[in-house]
Amino acid sequence: MTNPNNATITTVHTAEFTAGDALKIPTLRILRDDGSIYDGATEPELDKDTAIKMYDTMVFIRVLDERMLAAQRQGRISFYMQCLGEEATTVGSAAALDDKDMIMAQYREQGALRYRGFTLEQFMNQLFSNEKDLGKGRQMPVHYGSKDIHYMTISSPLGTQIPQASGYAYAQKMRGLKNTTICYFGEGAASEGDFHAGLNMAAVHKAPVIFFCRNNGYAISTPANEQFVGDGIACRGVGYGMKAIRVDGADILAVYQATKMARDYALEHNEPILIEAMAYRLGAHSSSDDPSGYRSKEEEEKWRQNDPISRYRLWLIEKGWLNEADDKTTIDALRGEILDALKVAEKVAKPGIEHLISDVYKEPIPALQQQLEELKAHIRKYPEAYPITAGRLD
């Protein structure tokens, strides 16, 4: 029977706690480290062009991360965040979506952005905050956004995109759209209040949203075993009344399959789904972090053997869709293309100061115009502190 609290009631007559391990969620794995398929596993339906696009995207992001972290160390950009070791999570999931499904990312999902078609030049313009940046230089590096490819601009506060995704997906349903929203976050964000508010809202209002948790082992310097107890994040979705699945985040075939199933189910039933991808953050949390202070090289090396790109490359070679010689040539060429684009973007001028208040309202309100004039007066008074802007004021 049910009660007004919407809970199924089963009557017993002996006092007994329900243990936390009553719900153990298994991890889906399809692809072995050697590129072969597990016995009993079924490959997802992937055509060659899609499979190669997924691989090319992973490689692009790996090389981009290498070059841009080096650029940050050289002082050419102020900040950067790698997704080293987690490429399969975002690329595999993005490949399973429709191009018009909304993506709400946290900050380590450049793979999804690239898969949607964000160009090398757009990456560079954002990272250098120049006048060609879609965000007009108003965001930190890696806080990407693109209306054209349905990628909501990233916010710095942790977890705020989770309830926003629930609301966006609910609006998609109310408008009768056949699209969903995917919301990425890490297991650290799952400790925020926004996580619980967002999941509960989506479950109650039956919003077609896919919550995608990248459980990469660390919330900055805090390991997962110091963040929470219990069987990971996936079981929390079940607690909110939604279906959930756990996948190996280094297995791009498993990620693709799980996300495709989640999308189909979310749209057919107008319900949210929670995916937990078990991965490992091989790089630092950001260019401001030093992981040697909280984990060992031995631990990192162990996980490095679980490289998602190497595993997928072996599968593609086995299928005859990729050969090692062409792969090396492509990667070498890509390094050159990224370096060339970096050199171009860093020479493009910065946006004019008037863009600080443009696009906030249709027409800037008097209060914002007043603040802009006060800022200009301040810069004119202390031009030595603003060498890029001081000589460009009207």
Of 108, 143, 285, 311, which is the active-site residue? Answer: 285
Specify whether 285 is catalytic.
yes
CA distances to 131, 214, 287, 370 from 373, in Å:
21, 44, 35, 5
* Structure confidence at residue 3 (pLDDT): 67
Of 143, 281, 311, 313, which is the active-site residue? Answer: 281
Q: Where does the pLDDT of residue 2 fall: very low under 50, low under 70, confident under 90, or very high at 90 and above?
A: low
Tokens at 223, concatenated: 């390991």
* Structure confidence at residue 214 (pLDDT): 97
CA 5 to mean position of chain CA atoms: 35
pLDDT, average across residues 56-77: 97
| Helix boundaries (H) for 102-189 | 110-116, 120-127, 161-174
pLDDT, average across residues 34-45: 96
Of 73, 294, 335, 378, which is the active-site residue? Answer: 294
Which is nearest to 336 in space by CA: 66, 109, 148, 74? 66
Percentage, residues of the chain above pLDDT 90: 91
- Over residues 319-333, the pLDDT tens digits come to 999 999 989 998 999
Give the DSSP letter string of 102-116.
EEE--SS-HHHHHHH
Specify whether 114 is catalytic.
no
pTM: 0.95
* Structure confidence at residue 309 (pLDDT): 97
* Structure confidence at residue 6 (pLDDT): 77
Assess whether pLDDT exceeds 90 at residue 365.
Answer: yes
Which is nearest to 89 in space by CA: 185, 166, 24, 25? 185
Q: Where does the pLDDT of residue 93 fall: very low under 50, low under 70, confident under 90, or very high at 90 and above?
A: very high
Specify whether 380 is catalytic.
no
Asked if residues 197 and 240 have their Cβ atoms less than 8 Å apart, the reply is no
